[in-house]
Amino acid sequence: MASDFRGQRVLVTGGAGFVGSNLVRRLVAEDAEVTILDDFFTGRLENLRGIPPEAYRLVRGSVTDSELVRQLVSEAEFVFHLAARNIIASTRNPYEDFKTNIGGTLNVLLAARECRPQRVLYTSSVSVYGNPRYLPINEDDRISLLTPYAVSKYSGEGYCQAFYESYGVPVVVVRYSNVYGPWQDPQNPYCGVVAKFMQRAQAGMPLEIHGDGQQTRDFTFVEDVVEATIQAALSPKSEGEVFNIGTGVETSVETLAHLVSDLYGLEVAPLHIDRRDIDNIRRRVVNIEKIRRTLRWTPNVTLAEGLYRTQRWNEECTSGEILP
């Protein structure tokens, strides 16, 4: 197992997406030889701005293309599998969700079984927990699949575990919790609540809260997520394991709205609108003790600091200067 990514060949599926592009930036900074596979369903070329074009190879294509996936995995020493239909797209079209999130993951694992990279890292979601019985949520707590997205992400986890146990494929699973930060595009109809709040606050418009706003989430800054993902990929202790990646801090959407409003000096009260069909999780906060003990990772960025950094990045985008 390599101790860092210098000179390592790395494949990032979904590398032009929000989290994927942040991960690519970090890998390029560590002198990895990066290949991006993206079908641009939600990924954007703009997300790769500021990265020297010669620092990565971009392949337009889908993880549903088994031959393409096999070719790219055969060239990689590390595989970061981030490509997926997200929760809104999955709910609208469960069949496409099945093909991409389950079929695409199986294609990656089949290629890895044959080509034997050093590590395959699969990104899952805390959506698999549904409405938990207890908080904070541990990795071995009850699974409750309330959306097609949760079903497909957990199915991917199941295949990862099966390929690890049956074929010795060196996999690790990370469950992301409500990631936000730079390069999350508010124009994308599938983006998260932080980007949507900031877009409206910047325009002086009232923030729109689905439901009563008392639903809670564990909002995690993207730089912390990338750092945890990197550590999980490199550590020999992570093989075959599942890790929550969050902050361990529970925040209501109402509180988030007030934080964003204060940041922008917005004096208009939030507007409560109808809840959506995906708004079926009342409370969420994850226990991150396992990753802290195993990998010595803890988040460094508080919600207030992360919102400030994201606001600063948004302002730079508006002025035409993209921060690295």
Asked whether residue 217 is domain-assigned, the answer is no
51: containing domain: 9-176+222-246+284-300
Asked whether residue 55 is domain-assigned, the answer is yes
Q: Output the pLDDT for position 320.
A: 53
User: Average pLDDT of 240-253?
Assistant: 98
How far from 83 is each of 86, 124, 178, 202, 320, CA to CA, in Å? 9, 10, 16, 30, 28
Q: Is the dihedral of CA 43, 63, 181, 45 positive or negative?
A: negative
User: Average pLDDT of 234-259?
Assistant: 97
DSSP state of 8: -
CA distance 304 to 302: 5
pLDDT at 324 > cutoff 80: no
Closest CA to 187 of 176, 175, 209, 203: 203
Tell me which residues are annotated as active site: 149
Asked whether residue 86 is domain-assigned, the answer is yes
Asked whether residue 197 is domain-assigned, the answer is no
Q: Output the pLDDT for position 189.
A: 64
CA distance 39 to 34: 16
Tell me how many domains the chain contains: 1
Phi, psi angle pair for 70, to nearest 5°: -60, -45
Using pLDDT thresholds of 50, 70 and 90, give the confidence band for residue 321: low
Q: Output the pLDDT for position 124.
A: 98
Q: How many residues does the chain have?
A: 324
CA distance 152 to 170: 21
State pLDDT tens for residues 49-82: 999 999 999 999 999 999 999 999 999 999 999 9
Q: Are 76 and 36 in contact (CB under 8 A)?
A: no
Bridge-partner residues for 244, per DSSP? 175
Asked whether residue 76 is domain-assigned, the answer is yes
Residue 133 burial by Cβ neighbours in a 10 Å radius (0-12, 13-18, 19+)? exposed
Using pLDDT thresholds of 50, 70 and 90, give the confidence band for residue 129: very high
pLDDT at 250 > cutoff 50: yes
Least confident of 116-120, 121-125, 211-215, 228-232: 211-215
Q: What number of H helices and E strands is found in the chain? A: 11, 13
Asked whether residue 186 is domain-assigned, the answer is no
CA distance 178 to 267: 26
Instruction: Give SS3 for 243.
Output: strand
User: pTM of the prediction?
Assistant: 0.95
Asked whether residue 189 is domain-assigned, the answer is no
H/E stretch holding 23: helix 18-29
State pLDDT tens for residues 156-203: 999 999 999 999 999 999 999 999 999 998 877 667 899 999 999 999
- Packing angle of the helix pair 104-115, 66-74 (nearest 10 deg): 40
Asked whether residue 257 is domain-assigned, the answer is no
What average pLDDT does the chain have? 94
Residue 132 neighbours by CB under 8 Å, 6+ apart? 141, 142, 144, 283, 284
Q: Which CATH number covers residue 106?
A: 3.40.50.720
